[in-house]
Structure 1
């Protein structure tokens, strides 16, 4: 192999140390004279970079600055993120990432080692993946077609930013080596007319392709990935309602795949409910669940909660009776038109209600069914009104209410209002970061029902164990690991652990997922020690 030139090293974000290259390294690598004389430590670089970061206006300008560091020096970026995880998470991920996606084509600087696969150029899928990987040993792929980005919808090729952001969290939380990950955009077109009309838009300028041609692109991506990167886990992200479950179900038994919107959201909701029940001392099998928003995320949540009830001994037919789905039409019945296969599993019969035709809005449904758990993935801001919440709270001692739509402008209710309206009885978690709430002398810590708390551990644990698939048993183990971290004795305790401890509990989730793979006989040859497998794979941000 030819030796790399100085500029190649300094322009390679996986190898570049910038001013931290020692004099010996500079001599060996041909970097003498290519850098200022002072040799800095990683900590000195981090201090200097953070001081510079603090001069930037909040939001997108801060993210753009951090992306410059990410683009030039991965080690420095993740070292810095590790020191400021609570501050940086909302900037590199949710909610600021939404603004970044919306502006992606207009502020594009470089592709961040992502692979761009086009529905119009399917013959070159394998070559495109190979080029983007550039010889790297890829163990984790986050792929999106960006049809259903939570909260903002269809953003075409701009949505590759969500894949890049998810992979950042994987490294910051779980410790996956950033040189072993690949972001992939499946560009099938877009139905976002504003993008199609924008001369700056970088993706395919046509309406979104569906059906056989689209599924052929997905399959070519999957098969090429398996051929090029046989040890890689495929993480599907923000696919549309009509495709997400179809794709997951097609591949989940044959290889390690994971859909964050279906499974990740389901795990975090289950973990939050288990955490809440640790506090209220109630049983899962006694709860009545109302899912407000019956799309990909809402159905993932219902399925995960249902599976857990069955695991806890509930009769499957009886367990189904504990679920109520509310979507734009109101309560979903078995004769509601255009139901998805996932929705049909949980619909109700009109004969159960004397006023079935009136159950077309959330308040009517809450009055009719008296739920004890209400989870919102509706993207309907303010939908959990004072009247709805007080009606629910009148029929249960500790109402569990999770408004998890994001970004902030789409949340169903703010925790401060939920606490006030229930006189402090609510057990809540949100999809966005929220400061603690003071009410009547008690400080309520608000758990964040954000998939970032769980998917890094699930993915990392499966990769560490070289699991042949990611199944419901592993996902349940992850939910229990998270739900079990809550301290139920603390006044105002959160139902989920704080982002500040993200690295610690991600390690715990990784270990239980790896152990589950081992216990089920799904781990790779010779992998018998989950803790060792996780520790061996972990990458640290250091030179």
Structure 2
């Protein structure tokens, strides 16, 4: 840690940790577990974004499995080259929508590597059972493609039938080669993300973290905000800025959660409003994608500011990838409308956040209940300390994966994400709430992952999707499974 802190840039710290992971894996995970608040921003967001941009330039050793269009027909055979035979978690990306940074092609391999490091550090999945995969099908980013050091398939992206056939071959090869493996789809462009999730979610053990993991974390945060705002969860009116896979995924899970609270589906939909780059999502628009249609209300078109004034939301959720989208005017209007406005600036990395924690607290005169996707430091305003909550998917996906693996679940239905969200919200202490934080400290992440995994695996047995007989002591079974990086 002394050596790490001596480095003068975060990208150098990332390189040092990456080298340590190659050289001494147990020590790497010991440090990641013991210093999680300091290490997570380096091995994941926000620094992983910078690492992905620079990936080909800071490359030292290969750490994953690459699939190109030239491998079509041979994937089962090529998987034989991977040295580990008992794979339990696979994180796959095609690099087309890395965080809020766009199409980074094969440079996006930093994301599966980082996510799987968190599976191990946060939930104790053994590193030998983790497989990072890059669906290296080209990039439409000309600058990256023509970079002399670029490691990826140096052509424009394949799409359509050829693309989906390649993904299908891989998914089916995994079923044959690693029948107990969970596939996590990560950072796919919205249309492909939804298409792949809809094809496979009821057939194989898989989920999309951007759509479902983000949704569960946001839902947990919303449950916790009610302890501050005193507005019952079913009464919340929520507005999203951005209508891509993350925002719509949150809304889809919110509908299920609201229906569980006794609302009809239409009443739930009526609580949720979207604004995208073309204004309020209304039924008269002709440019909407299929996943937006359920949220298109019969309302006059309007811009973002006017929409806030007329609809009067209690909660504003940003998933735009547009830094500064929550302006001083936006925060001020929300503060006029609400005693405690809830502001979620969820876009990653920090450079893409809709507003900073300091802006949210300052512009709202300390009234805001704030959460972000990337970490922000504690803020002092008017003599009071505010500890912003980080809506980090690491609170959810490692526990979901651990629970599904231990239960040998066949699929991951939405009920498991509802269960995970409720469990996470219950780990938020009164002290967290007093400090204005709607998520627990990251230092508790392994305990949180254990609780999420226990609740998820219990639910899997209840739903009849577990493929083994239920152990007598499920908590102990999970604990026994978890990798311990202590010497």
Range class of TM-score, shorter chain: over 0.9
Superposition map of 1:82-121 within 5 A: 82-112=33-63, 114-121=64-71
1:270 aligns with 2:219: yes
1:77 aligns with 2:28: yes
- For residue 325 of structure 2, the aligned residue among 352, 369, 383 is 383
Encode CA deviations 1:330-383: one digit per residue, 9 max, x unaligned.
11122323322111111112xx33xx2xx13x2121112111111001111111
| Separation in 2, partners of 1:325, 1:100 | 32
- For residue 313 of structure 2, the aligned residue among 360, 363, 371 is 371
| Separation in 1, partners of 2:23, 2:34 | 19
SS in 2 for 1:142: strand
| Separation in 2, partners of 1:328, 1:109 | 40
Query: Which consecutive unaligned segments of at least 5 residues does structure 1 have?
Result: 1-49
1:55 aligns with 2:25: no
Superposition map of 1:97-496 within 5 A: 97-112=48-63, 114-132=64-82, 134-349=83-298, 352-353=299-300, 356=301, 359-360=302-303, 362-488=304-430, 490-496=433-439
Structure 1 position 105, deviation (Å): 1.4
Whether the aligned pair in 1 keeps the contact of 2:323 and 2:355 (CA below 8 Å) is yes
Whether the aligned pair in 1 keeps the contact of 2:315 and 2:341 (CA below 8 Å) is yes
Structure 1 position 86, deviation (Å): 0.9
| Separation in 2, partners of 1:189, 1:337 | 31
- For residue 538 of structure 1, the aligned residue among 479, 482, 486 is 482
Encode CA deviations 1:433-491: one digit per residue, 9 max, x unaligned.
11111223321111101111211111111111111111111101110111112234653
TM-score by length of 1: 0.87
Q: What do you get for the CA RMSD once the two structures are aligned?
A: 1.4
Encode CA deviations 1:139-160: one digit per residue, 9 max, x unaligned.
1101111111111111111111
SS in 2 for 1:345: helix
Query: Which consecutive unaligned segments of at least 5 residues does structure 2 have?
Result: none
SS in 1 for 2:344: strand
How many pairs are equivalent?
485
| Separation in 2, partners of 1:95, 1:265 | 16
Structure 1 position 216, deviation (Å): 0.3
Structure 1 position 286, deviation (Å): 0.9
- For residue 460 of structure 2, the aligned residue among 491, 497, 517 is 517
Whether the aligned pair in 2 keeps the contact of 1:444 and 1:491 (CA below 8 Å) is no
Encode CA deviations 1:488-515: one digit per residue, 9 max, x unaligned.
4653330111212111211111111111
| Separation in 1, partners of 2:74, 2:151 | 18
Whether the aligned pair in 2 keeps the contact of 1:436 and 1:445 (CA below 8 Å) is yes
Whether the aligned pair in 2 keeps the contact of 1:404 and 1:411 (CA below 8 Å) is yes
Structure 1 position 127, deviation (Å): 2.1
Whether the aligned pair in 1 keeps the contact of 2:407 and 2:468 (CA below 8 Å) is no
Runs ≥4 residues deviating over 6 A: none
